[in-house]
Amino acid sequence: MIVLMLGVFGCDSEINRSPTDVLGIAANLRSMMTLDPAAISESLTGGVMRNVCEPLLVLNEEDARQVMPGIAESWSVNEDFSIYTFHIRPNLAFPSGNPVTAHDVAWSMNRSLQLNLTSSKLLKEWGFNKNNFDDMVRVINDLTLEVRPPKKYSPSLFLYALADYRSSHALDRIEVLSHEIDGDLGNGWLTRNTACYGPFRVHTWRAQDVLILERNEEWQRTENPIRRVVMRHIPEPGTQRLMLEKGDIDLASNLEPSDLDAIEENPNTYLKRTPTFSTIYMAFNRDTPAFADPRVIEAMHYLIDYEAIARTVLNKAAIVRESPVPKGMFGALPESFTPYSLDIDKARNLLREAGVAEGYSFELLASNSAPYSDIAQHFQENLLKAGVEAKIITLSSGHLFTKVRARKFDAYIGGYAFNYPDANNVMLRFGYNPKSSEDNSVSVAWRTGWDPGEWFNATVMQAQTEPDPLKREQLYHELQRYHMENAPIVFLFQRLGVRALSRNVESIKANAITLSFASAVKKP
């Protein structure tokens, strides 16, 4: 019967071949839950929305450290860094036809604070809040916006605060407010729709099925050869690979590390690897008595076979990064700075010196998604050689978050994606912890119960306002060295953004944070 059915329908046709102005992408869309920039919390939707919602400033498509004009065509800062003035490009229009103005930007930023959803953190951490917003952000006229940050941040740092689609986008407030229900500021409507200005607009979104973007013909910043982006929900990595190899899609975004060699060997496909600002780390809870001793944490540094894991488990989808700040960020230590390597004897001696008895055991939590559980197993084997047992508990990432935010763990392996390319970002999440007793569960330092001390906290604050870039960089180097020696956190790897592409795509630009769909050039 199979032969009969396939005989009737089976013939390879050319209908699937990708048109030159359409980009076909396979991705696991399961985590894509909302399109509201004020509420987006995960990276896949973030990657899409960066192609839909242009912020005041954007990061260069290939080097994220360079801040470029976005909705604002130019900006200026006064002498004491207390006032930033942004000039919005004239004649910009939303898909509805409404003009893009400074009012829209200010309203959208304020809306984020009012809703107090995930993205509000990106404004609150710079000192903006519901109460001071009107004093801090002023609309001078339709095309001029003035921002007075609560602190006199170093301009090279503060501009990053306004170069994120979640913090400084422009929503079409007239359109959004026309869909407001029960004072939700359009949150319900924006869950499924978009009202931004950017290279694309959302044409169709059916959750867990398909997302179609259409070129915004009004977009002015660069040429956009891509008329349509079709992103289909293909949850199974093996299926994504087959579709890519057949030429039915142009880009597969969720391949397993084990698939990468085959993609590189196939003449019709290739890989584009870009260092990202995503890190893989291990954290140890100081409330677990053994981990209160810095010698134990130092021993943990020596129980990781960094190179072997990068080569095997991660299969070139990550690079070794022992220092906290990822490569490519402002303030990163040189790539060659790798003071730790596998040394089981040294680790065993450190453990004995710290009084950790042979046979000591603890629970190691790891997400059940790749590559965390595999890394945990590698680590477990080396721990055993040093006389310590790690009981690995694999959990869904939601369950893992729940446990670590409640400080209910001995140790865990986790990942973190930073939002902007400055070491301040890393230090706030992984080091700065002024009152370790207060609930600050977004901070990994807080989760581990680490009190970095007055010098560390004060230096993090000082680096934020230091105007001299060289001095700032120096401060971050010092902070990182201190962190590596004292914090109960072990940085392991920096992930690479690995995109498997069909040879139909001649080129596409990506920086450490996002992939630019509009930069794709397909074979004619």
Partner 1 sequence: MTQLTQNSGLGSPQGKTKPARSHLVIAMIEVRRVSLVVLLTLLVLLAVTFFLGRVMPTDPVLALIGEQADQSTYQTVYEQLGLDKPLIVQFGIYIKDIATGNFGIARTTGNPVIVDIRRVVPATIELATLSLILGVIAGVPLGMIAAVKRNSAWDHGVRFFSLLGHSIPNFWLCMMALVVFYAILGWIGGSGRVSIFYIDTVDPVTGSILIDSIIARNWDLLGDALRHVIMPALILASGSMAFISRMTRSFMLEQLSQEYVITARVKGLSRMQVVHHAFRNIKVQLLTIIILSYGGLLDGAVLTETVFAWPGFGQYLTAGLMNNDMNAVLACVLLVGVIFVSLNLFADALYRVLDPRTR
Q: Which stretch binds partner 1 (CB under 8 A): 232-240, 307-315, 380-388, 473-481?
A: 232-240
Q: Output the smallest distance, CB 394 to partner 1, in A.
A: 13
Distance of alpha carbon 27 from alpha carbon 244, whole angstroms: 12
**Smallest distance, partner 1 to C-beta of residue 441, A:** 6
HEC profile of 235-247? CCHHHHHHHHHHC
Contacts of 314 (CB under 8 A, 6+ apart): 257, 371, 493
- Residues ≥6 apart with Cβ < 8 Å to 173: 103, 104, 107, 108
Smallest distance, Å, CB 515 to partner 1? 18
Site for partner 1 (CB under 8 A): which residue of 65, 124, 221, 327?
A: 124
Residue 416 binds partner 1 (CB under 8 A): yes
Binding mask 75-114 for partner 1 (x = CB under 8 A): ----------------------------------------
Measured from the CB atom, the residue of 377 and 397 that comes closer to partner 1 is 397
Q: Where are the beta strands (DSSP E) in 60-196?
A: 67-69, 72-77, 84-88, 137-141, 144-147
CB burial readout 221-254, b (16+ within 10 A) else e: beebebebbbbbbbeebeebbebbbebbbbbbbb
Q: Strand pairing partners for 281?
A: 414, 491
Task: For the CB of residue 275, give the shortest distance to partner 1 in the complex, in Å.
Answer: 20
118 is an interface residue for partner 1 by CB under 8 A: yes
Counting contacts by CB under 8 A, is residue 2 touching partner 1? yes
Instruction: Report the distance separating Cα 74 and Cα 213, nearest Å.
Output: 28
Q: Is 209 in the site for partner 1 (CB under 8 A)?
A: yes
Considering beta carbons, is residue 215 or 378 the nearer one to partner 1?
Answer: 215
| Site for partner 1 contains 428 (CB under 8 A) | no
Shortest Å distance, C-beta 361 to partner 1:
22
Supply the Cα-derived Rg of the chain in whole angstroms: 24
Distance CA 428, CA 417 (A): 13
- Considering only 25-33, 52-60, 95-103, 343-351, which stretch makes contact with partner 1 by CB under 8 A? 25-33
- Binding flag, residue 233, partner 1 (CB under 8 A): yes
Out of 172, 245, 259, 322, point to the residue binding partner 1 (CB under 8 A): 245
Nearest to partner 1 of 77, 242 (CB atom): 242
Choices 27-35, 102-110, 343-351, 370-378; region in contact with partner 1 by CB under 8 A: 27-35
Rule CB under 8 A: is residue 194 a binding residue for partner 1?
no
Q: Which of 402, 435, 455, 462 binds partner 1 (CB under 8 A)?
A: 402
Residue 41 near partner 1 by CB under 8 A = yes
Nearest 10 degrees: Cα torsion 45, 47, 49, 52? -150
d(C-alpha 66, C-alpha 434), whole Å: 31
Mode of pairing for the β-strands spanning 269-284 and 411-417: antiparallel
Q: What per-residue string of b and e applies to 146-175 under the rule 16 or more CB within 10 Å gives b?
A: ebebeeebbbebbbbbbbbbbbbbbbbbbb
Task: Indicate if the alpha-carbon torsion angle 64, 65, 66, 67 is positive or negative.
Answer: positive
Binding mask 467-486 for partner 1 (x = CB under 8 A): --------------------
Tokens coding 322: 């022992």
Using CB under 8 A as the binding rule, whether residue 1 contacts partner 1 is answered as: yes
Q: Which candidate, 263, 290, 235, 304, places its Cα nearest to that of 490?
A: 304
Q: How far is the CB of 203 from partner 1 (least distance, A)?
A: 8
How does strand 269-284 pair with strand 251-252? Answer: unpaired
Which of 245, 422 has the CB closer to partner 1? 245
Say whether residue 259 binds partner 1 (CB under 8 A).
Answer: no
**CB 350, min distance to partner 1, A:** 31
Establish if 212 lies at the interface with partner 1 (CB under 8 A).
Answer: yes
Is 516 within 8 Å of 510 (Cβ atoms)? Answer: yes
Listed as own residue / partner, the contacts of 454-462 with beta carbons closer than 8 Å and 24 or more positions apart are 455/482, 456/431, 456/432, 456/482, 456/483, 457/432, 457/433, 460/424, 460/427, 460/428, 460/431, 460/432, 461/432
**Among 23-31, 274-282, 325-333, 335-343, which window interacts with partner 1 (CB under 8 A)?**
23-31
Residues that bind partner 1 (CB under 8 A): 1-2, 5-6, 9-12, 15-16, 18-19, 22, 24, 30-31, 33-34, 39, 41-42, 115-118, 120-121, 124, 188, 191-192, 204, 206-210, 212, 230, 232-236, 238-239, 242-243, 245-246, 248-249, 396, 398-399, 401-403, 405, 416, 419, 439-442
